[in-house]
């Protein structure tokens, strides 16, 4: 691989020996990549700069190393620091949640430009929109992009029309009809408002989703259902979720 240049958002940074860092970026052109940056820590340097802070948006230059899937990063120049998202602990925590969530559902090298755009737009939206709302929008659209979005049009078990008395099943990944309730005893009722909101977020252009009105009880139900659904698919506890619970 020759020298490559792309935009990326920093998902994670780990210390490596005395003076180096391993940075994990979600990039526009290569999906998730990991790379070593040398000489950025230690007594003579300021531990990288704003460009090496979590969720910084950088232009990244990197190249392949022999017998390793970890690249060498030779340059990362800051494009956006998302300063408004760093001004409150709540926004900062939500921004950190977005990157941890994306990190947890993607593998190295899986290119997905839609996922990159979603993260970038969501970080921008954090400056003007409630962080809780940004998190729900991010979750719904991410599930959609990854192809694991719950289905609401038909029964997730028998594919027939759902009708009255349907319930939401985490295991089946959507609504199940009255006849299929025995197939998942843990399925729970879900408000029509919640279903409508999810469908809106999934289908509307990104610049419109922030303005959709939502009832408080829908917000609460949505958060609970998405959390359960994501936990079911991710299988590992996200550190930021625990932290968000604490600061709530």
Q: Which residues bind Zn ion (CB under 5 A)?
A: 155, 157-158, 177, 180
Q: Can you say whether the dihedral through the CA atoms of 47, 105, 79, 66 is positive or negative?
A: positive
Q: How far apart are CA 98 and CA 95, in angstroms?
A: 5
Nearest distance in Å: CB 184, Zn ion: 10
Closer by beta carbon to Zn ion, 39 or else 163: 163
Closer by beta carbon to Zn ion, 175 or else 218: 175
- In DSSP terms, 35 is beta-bridged to 23, 71
Closer by beta carbon to Zn ion, 110 or else 186: 186
- Nearest-10 Cα torsion for 191, 129, 106, 188: -10
Tokens of 114: 């839609």
Kind of pairing, strands 4-16 and 57-63? Answer: antiparallel
Nearest distance in Å: CB 218, Zn ion: 24
N- to C-terminal Cα separation, the chain? 46
Nearest distance in Å: CB 167, Zn ion: 10
Nearest distance in Å: CB 153, Zn ion: 12
Closer by beta carbon to Zn ion, 119 or else 155: 155
Closer by beta carbon to Zn ion, 189 or else 205: 189
Nearest distance in Å: CB 12, Zn ion: 41
Q: Which residues contact 125 (CB under 8 A, 6 or more apart)?
A: 134, 137, 210
Nearest distance in Å: CB 150, Zn ion: 14
Closer by beta carbon to Zn ion, 3 or else 159: 159
Nearest distance in Å: CB 131, Zn ion: 37
Closer by beta carbon to Zn ion, 61 or else 158: 158
């Amino acid at each position: 691989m020759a020298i490559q240049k792309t935009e990326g958002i920093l998902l994670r940074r780990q210390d490596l020996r005395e003076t180096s860092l391993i940075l994990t970026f979600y990039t526009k052109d290569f999906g998730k990549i990991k790379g070593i940056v040398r000489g950025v820590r230690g007594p003579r340097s300021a531990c990288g700069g704003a460009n090496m802070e979590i969720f910084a948006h950088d232009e990244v230059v990197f190249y392949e190393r022999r017998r390793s899937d970890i690249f060498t990063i030779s340059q990362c120049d800051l494009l956006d620091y998302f300063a408004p998202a760093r001004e409150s602990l709540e926004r900062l925590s939500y921004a950190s949640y977005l990157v941890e969530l994306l990190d947890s559902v993607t593998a190295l090298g899986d290119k997905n430009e839609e996922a990159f755009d979603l993260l970038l737009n969501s970080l921008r939206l954090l400056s003007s929109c409630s962080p809780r709302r940004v998190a729900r929008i991010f979750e719904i659209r991410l599930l959609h992009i990854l192809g694991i979005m719950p289905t609401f049009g038909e029964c997730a078990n028998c594919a027939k029309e759902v009708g009255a008395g349907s319930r939401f099943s985490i295991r089946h990944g959507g609504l199940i009809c009255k006849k299929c309730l025995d197939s998942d005893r843990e399925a729970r009722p879900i408000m029509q408002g919640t279903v409508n909101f999810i469908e809106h977020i999934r289908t509307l252009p990104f610049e419109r989703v922030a303005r959709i009105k939502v009832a408080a009880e829908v917000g609460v139900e949505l958060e609970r259902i998405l959390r359960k659904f994501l936990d079911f698919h991710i299988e590992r506890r996200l550190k930021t979720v625990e932290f968000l619970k604490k600061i709530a």
